[in-house]
Amino acid sequence: MINYLIKTYKSIQKNSLLFVTLLILFLSSCFFFALRINFSEDITQILPKGEQNNKTSKVLQQLNFADKITVMVKSTTSSSLDKAAEVAELFLDTIKRDSIYYSEVQGKVDMNQIDQTFSFVHQNLPYFLNREDYKKLSKKIEKDEIDKQIKNSYKTLISPTGIVAREFILNDPLGFTSLGLNKLKSIGVSKDFIINNGFLSSNDSSTIMLFITPNFSGTDTKKSEVFVDHLYAYQKSLNEQYKGAIEISYFGSPFIALANARQIKSDIQSTVLFSLSILFLILILFYRRILIPITLFVPVICGGLFALAIVSLTTEAISAISISIGAVLLGITIDYSLHIATHYREKSDIASVYKSVTKPILTSSITTSIAFLCLTFVNSKVLQDLGIFASISIVSTAIFALLIIPHLYKPKQRPNVTIIDNLAEHKFHKNKVLLSIAIIAILFGIFSYDKVEFNNNIADLNFVPDEMQASEKQLESLGSIGAKSIYVTAYSDTLESVLNRNNQLEEKLHQLEKEGVIEDYTSIGEFVLSKEKQKEKLRLWNHFWNDQKIDSTIKYVNLAAKKLGFKEDAFSQVDTMLNKKYQHIHLRDYQEIKTLFLDEFYSEKNEFKTLSTIVKTDSISRANVLQTLAKEENIVVIDRKHLNEQFLGEIKDDFKRLMNYSFIAVFIILLFFFRRIELALVSIIPIVLTGIATTTFIYLFGLELNIFSTIVTTLILGLGIDFSIFMTTGLQNKYTNGQNNLKTYRISILLAVLTTVLSIGVLIFAKHPALKSISLISLFGIISAMLITFSIYPIIFSFIFESRPKQGKSPVSLRLFISAVLSHLYYGLGGLLFSLIGIVFIKLLPFNMEFKQRLFRKKISRLLKSVMYTNYGLKNMVYNPHHEAFDKPAIILPNHTSFLDTLSIGFINTPFIFFVNNWVYNSPIFGKAVQLAGYFPITKGLESNEEELIEMVRKGNSLVIFPEGTRSLTNDINRFHKGAFLLAQKYDLDIVPLYIHGNADLLPKGDFIIFDGKHTIEIGERISVNQEYKNLTLRELTKTISKKFKSKFKTIRYKLEDEDYFAQKVKLSFLYKRNEIVKKAKLEFELNKKTYHQVNPHIKPDAKILRIGDDLGIWDIMLTLQEAKRKVFTFIENIENQQIAEQNYLINKRKINYNRDPHSAYETLLITTNVNSEKIEALLNKHEFEQVIIVSSSIYQTDLLKFGFQLEIEENNYSILKKI
């Protein structure tokens, strides 16, 4: 990828005009497609969508109460009550000029509507009566009651109001219709309000209510803005005209939505634009270029346009909210331009720049993109659109930055030092104050993260102006139309079904009201009936009005009328009503009656039909009511607070899943780019710690998470990933070549922090609650990310990856670490278990002590042997070429290079007594088992306890004595002590050499990691000391056997240590370095291992070597791993290769020196690269070499002959010359 970018850069440099032309055409095409995007402004799209949630969302969209504008015309004094109707009339006349913005205005009631309502109920009376009404009818048709009612009707007719009431009385003298009309009180406008002066008014007549139905959604601020401004103008004019006697106020979602939109716009203008100005100034001062801010934003614009073009081609419509949020987040992608410009400013070499930034930028962009793409798993259309838009724009911006910025920004040769440069020089990881703050924040966060609250009430994030709050309180005090009501909606795809379900719901609510569970409800379910319910009501009517009741009622009415002087047929309508054949009422019949306000309750869209009911309940019973009604089939319960809590709670749960998905996805991407699970895991640590530390600040400052700040967590995650990747890259580079360029990476991160804080953090000064919540959370998150990345992360990285190499220990993989821990744990637990078992077995069981100890030692031997099989990658081999049967006790003499040597003895199938050191003998874990087994503490000494030892031998036990006394640091065998040989001579004991190979490399002294490899044991030939060496003194015996032992062990080494023996060691020495270096090192090893294996025997074990090469130091590693006493001085032509070689862990363990000016005295000249003859001649003139080894070099041997060398060995791939 880096080579491709370099080639592309050079091509663009040569064809800059063509590139600019193509770029303009590309951006123009993107802009063209972006203009074709259809935006959706439906706020409900932020709600989660499931099978049930989709229904809820559809119901919300069709709920007719939500978007109405309530107009309240209030009389402030009792003397101005009559003026309220006058003002209401004037208001209605005024808004007619804005008729294009609304469909109707409700609240004015005339006599024609009242007559129409009475006539409709009267003509369809059976459908408006319930069983309780028939009990009242039974009383009404008694003779005395009829007489009384007719008298009252007579009095009314002769009164002044008789003119108005005449038709009502003649049609229904007994007041049957009033029973049906009472049902209309169950709908909102009749229940909580009265009709006064032709208008709906509050019960005290102080406030006239008007309801405007807009032609647009309440959240469509673009369309509502003009209408709302006009309404405010009418309000101001009328209020001033009536000088406080009458006050007009409004309430409705269009006003709140517009106030929110304007406040957001105002906040952005006053904060973000200001912050961008400051940011531009800072960037200009830092880069010393006036146009640099514009330059840095070019890739951002390209990425945004490209994302919009892709979205336009792949989706029919995208949420405008998601694009708005995405536009804010897109501003963060300027970081990629900053990283490139900063590195270019420091290095001025395009190849070095691409090498430094390509991998981290692509890794960061892809991981951040994946994190946003995980938003598609959230059941919210807005968040899904945001995820798609942001993920495309982030990756494309990163690519555009890599392609464009190097051409637009040309750094100065010597950049000026700025405050940011000085700050980046600071060693944050050594600042005790910052470390303390970070550690305290993390520790506190671990215990407080679960105490951070999530605010489910989205209303708290709305900006509601003071006048709207006052209007809302006024409205809530007037009736059930207020905002504190619960909406219960029946839904279905068929009219009959939804009517039937609403009728059943009404019966349920009626029962709940009787039981006191709910306070009140407003429903049309009692009289807007399904066909089935109408039939039931009609059967009830017909059942009640039998012939006897009809005849008697008509008879009593006529008699009462006759007494009062009415004509005989004055009340003939009673006869008509009781003998009428009633027809089925259609929905359209109900809709024609304006006073029923049916359109407020019924809605139909795309064959989806809803009927709504308003329920009022107290706060105590609310939860129970919601739970009870939610169980009903085809019913959606809409409580604004509960609905927000439910939906946003689901989004919160989705975000928990999102974080899991994101971390998995991010980890996979990091694993792909770093190619090591260890680097991927470690780079995740600062991201996790950032989250923990952020919760600390959120908790301490009393903040709450909400839907918007939760979305911002994706941004914080992306920034945390960005910082972590860049710091990991910088630390990895330092680990690879020792060059500390962390300053450049810190500058990039500081600028990224600065841009983010100024673009988002400055919103802390915003007045809109949502913007402020986004600002505070993101501010804490960004600062936490920077603090942890700069202070704690370098320490973690150094501890995990650098601490071992600094101690001269090999880097280890996670597998080796886990495997070693498990093996040691197995050994420790086994030792502890044997200690406990030994107490019971040895001390309590009534058997012969020698028998018990022998059996116990045998089991311990098996434990020791089993430990060697617990480690994956370790192969155990035992050779017994002399068929030693150990049928006679002897002194077993093993070499000692590792802790594993003790375990190796477990492979010897004979009873033996160990000599153990003091810490093993007194170990709290396995010390008791050692003591009970009868093993001998070395602190007792051999000479003073000879009799005790010989007694053990006489009982058939061999003695295992390490003649070196202590472990060797290398494969070399140290000087033998005389103790074992003294016992052999004095008591005529045989010696059996035990050659243990591989343990020095499997588990070196001072380490606990068990590496992969072969563990080989060879049982040597038994030595009868007093027969074979009877004439030797103790000292001579010790030297003779030592020499023989070492010679044999050397033979074993050459036999077992083939060309791949040190493969893992060599490869591990480059572990965690940059990928290209790891690949190069592996290739160098594969190319040179065979040649090295052939050359190695011709170089003395303690040789002083001058090597001329141009590699990563692979030869030096192999030379000193094989023979620790060698001293290697190497000159590497390529400085970068030498820097990398100097960082190898063996530098701290073996005698390897890298010098640009070799001046010491050397024995061997090893040439592993092509070198000009002049340089070789200079070296030969300066040094007296004993031999020259030429590997893969074009140096002619004849050039060396004149310096007194002669050819000793010549092979295809190497030559060896010796000094004559």
Average pLDDT over residues 62-76: 75
When mean pLDDT is compared across 187-201, 778-792, 977-991, 1081-1095, the lowest value belongs to 187-201
pLDDT at 1159: 66
**Which of the residue ranges 28-42, 58-72, 534-548 has the most confident prediction, judged by mean pLDDT?**
534-548
Q: Domain check: are 1207 and 1100 in the same one? A: yes
Q: Domain check: are 840 and 951 in the same one? A: yes
3-state SS assignment for residue 1107: strand
Cβ–Cβ under 8 Å, residues 253 and 219: yes
pLDDT at 190: 44
pTM of this prediction exceeds 0.95: no
Tell me how many degrees the CA angle 449-454-460 measures, rounded to the nearest 5: 145
Torsion on CA atoms 774, 779, 781, 787, rounded to nearest 10? 180
3-state SS assignment for residue 523: coil
Side-chain half-sphere CA neighbours of 398 within 13 A? 20
Q: Domain check: are 923 and 993 in the same one? A: yes
Structure tokens at 830: 């086994």
Strands 39-40 and 207-214: unpaired
Asked if residue 981 has pLDDT above 60, the reply is yes
Tell me how many helices (H) and strands (E) the chain has. 51, 27
3-state SS assignment for residue 604: strand
Nearest-10 crossing angle of helices 572-579, 547-563: 170
**What's the chain's average pLDDT?**
82
Asked if residue 376 has pLDDT above 80, the reply is no
> What is the arrangement of strands in the sheet containing 990-997, beginning at the earlier edge strand?
874-879, 1013-1019, 990-997, 890-894, 958-960, 912-916, 936-937
Q: Cα separation of 332 and 329, whole Å?
A: 5
Structure tokens at 941: 């000494």
Cβ–Cβ under 8 Å, residues 267 and 767: yes
Domain hosting residue 239, numbered range: 68-108+198-251
Q: Which of 218, 235, 251 is the last residue of a domain?
A: 251
Q: Per the domain annotation, does 55 fall within a domain? A: no
Q: Name the E strands within 1-149.
A: 39-40, 69-75, 102-106
Asked if residue 792 has pLDDT above 90, the reply is yes
Structure tokens at 346: 């420091």
Tell me how many degrees the CA angle 200-205-206 measures, rounded to the nearest 5: 110
Q: Domain check: are 884 and 1011 in the same one? A: yes
Q: Domain check: are 859 and 943 in the same one? A: yes
Q: Which of 189, 217, 251 is the last residue of a domain?
A: 251
Q: Read off the pLDDT of residues 845-900 as tens digits, 9 standing for 90 and up.
A: 777 777 888 888 888 889 889 999 998 889 999 999 999 998 899 999 999 988 89
Average pLDDT over residues 125-139: 87
pLDDT at 1061: 93
Side-chain half-sphere CA neighbours of 928 within 13 A? 17
Q: State CA 1121 to chain mean position distance.
A: 45
Q: Domain check: are 980 and 883 in the same one? A: yes
Cβ–Cβ under 8 Å, residues 634 and 493: no
Q: Cα separation of 342 and 743, whole Å?
A: 10
Structure tokens at 252: 């409705």
Cβ–Cβ under 8 Å, residues 731 and 742: yes
Q: Cα separation of 833 and 848, whole Å?
A: 22
Stronger pLDDT, 667 or 1061, i.e. the higher one = 1061
Asked if residue 42 has pLDDT above 60, the reply is no
Q: Per the domain annotation, does 1011 fall within a domain? A: yes
CATH of the domain at 79: 3.30.70.100
Cβ–Cβ under 8 Å, residues 981 and 1017: no
Average pLDDT over residues 419-435: 86
pLDDT at 1001: 92
Domains identified in the chain, total number: 3
Place of tokens 């974080």: 659
Q: Read off the pLDDT of residues 1037-1054 as tens digits, 9 standing for 90 and up.
A: 999 999 999 999 999 999
Stronger pLDDT, 926 or 988, i.e. the higher one = 988
Q: Which residues pair with 208 in a beta bridge?
A: 73, 201
Average pLDDT over residues 947-965: 86
Asked if residue 189 has pLDDT above 70, the reply is no
Cβ–Cβ under 8 Å, residues 609 and 491: yes
Cβ–Cβ under 8 Å, residues 469 and 462: no
Binning the chain into helix, strand and coil, the percentages to the nearest 5 are 65, 10, 25
Stronger pLDDT, 419 or 809, i.e. the higher one = 809
Torsion over CA: 394, 399, 400, 406 (sign):
positive
Average pLDDT over residues 999-1027: 91
Tell me how many degrees the CA angle 444-445-450 measures, rounded to the nearest 5: 120
Q: Domain check: are 1122 and 992 in the same one? A: no
Asked if residue 759 has pLDDT above 80, the reply is no
Q: Report the run of H or E that residue 235 belongs to, with start and end.
A: helix 221-241
Q: Per the domain annotation, does 233 fall within a domain? A: yes
pLDDT at 1064: 93
Q: Per the domain annotation, does 1041 fall within a domain? A: yes
Looking at residue 890, its amino acid is: A
Q: Per the domain annotation, does 395 fall within a domain? A: no
Q: Domain check: are 97 and 202 in the same one? A: yes
Strands 1164-1167 and 1214-1219: unpaired
Q: Domain check: are 1100 and 993 in the same one? A: no
Asked if residue 691 has pLDDT above 90, the reply is no
Q: Domain check: are 1052 and 1124 in the same one? A: no
> How many residues would you count in the chain?
1220
Looking at residue 468, its amino acid is: M
Structure tokens at 253: 């979602």
pLDDT at 41: 47
Average pLDDT over residues 74-82: 74
Cβ–Cβ under 8 Å, residues 577 and 179: no
Q: Domain check: are 963 and 853 in the same one? A: yes
Q: Cα separation of 268 and 772, whole Å?
A: 11
Q: Which residues pair with 993 in a beta bridge?
A: 893
Asked if residue 641 has pLDDT above 70, the reply is no
pLDDT at 326: 56
pLDDT at 1093: 93
Cβ–Cβ under 8 Å, residues 756 and 774: no
Q: Per the domain annotation, does 900 fall within a domain? A: yes
Q: State CA 565 to chain mean position distance.
A: 89
Q: Which residues contact 1165 (CB under 8 A, 6 or more apart)?
A: 1105, 1106, 1107, 1108, 1179, 1180, 1183, 1185, 1187, 1188, 1189
Looking at the chain, the whole-number percentage of residues with pLDDT higher than 70 is 87
Q: Read off the pLDDT of residues 499-526 as tens digits, 9 standing for 90 and up.
A: 898 888 888 888 888 888 887 788 888 8
Q: Domain check: are 1114 and 1170 in the same one? A: yes
pLDDT at 483: 42
Q: Per the domain annotation, does 1214 fall within a domain? A: yes
Q: Cα separation of 155 and 971, whole Å?
A: 128
Q: Which of 187, 217, 251 is the last residue of a domain?
A: 251
CATH of the domain at 962: 3.40.1130
Tell me how many degrees the CA angle 742-745-748 measures, rounded to the nearest 5: 150
CB burial string 1080-1097: b at 16+ within 10 A, e below: bbeebbeebbebbbbbbe
When mean pLDDT is compared across 217-231, 262-276, 1011-1025, the lowest value belongs to 262-276
Torsion over CA: 81, 82, 84, 85 (sign):
positive
Asked if residue 186 has pLDDT above 70, the reply is no
pLDDT at 736: 93
Average pLDDT over residues 408-422: 74
Side-chain half-sphere CA neighbours of 241 within 13 A? 13
* Exposed / middle / buried, residue 723 (Cβ in 10 Å: 0-12, 13-18, 19+): buried
CATH of the domain at 1102: 3.40.50.150
Q: Per the domain annotation, does 482 fall within a domain? A: no
Strands 69-75 and 207-214: antiparallel
Place of tokens 């972006």: 34
The 3 state secondary structure assigned to 992-1042 is EEEEEECHHHHCCCCCCCCCCEEEEEEECCCECHHHHCCCCCHHHHHHHHH
**Residue 315 backbone class (left: φ over 0; alpha: ψ -120 to 50; beta: rest):** beta
Structure tokens at 22: 């193509």
pLDDT band at 1057 (very low <50, low <70, confident <90, very high): very high
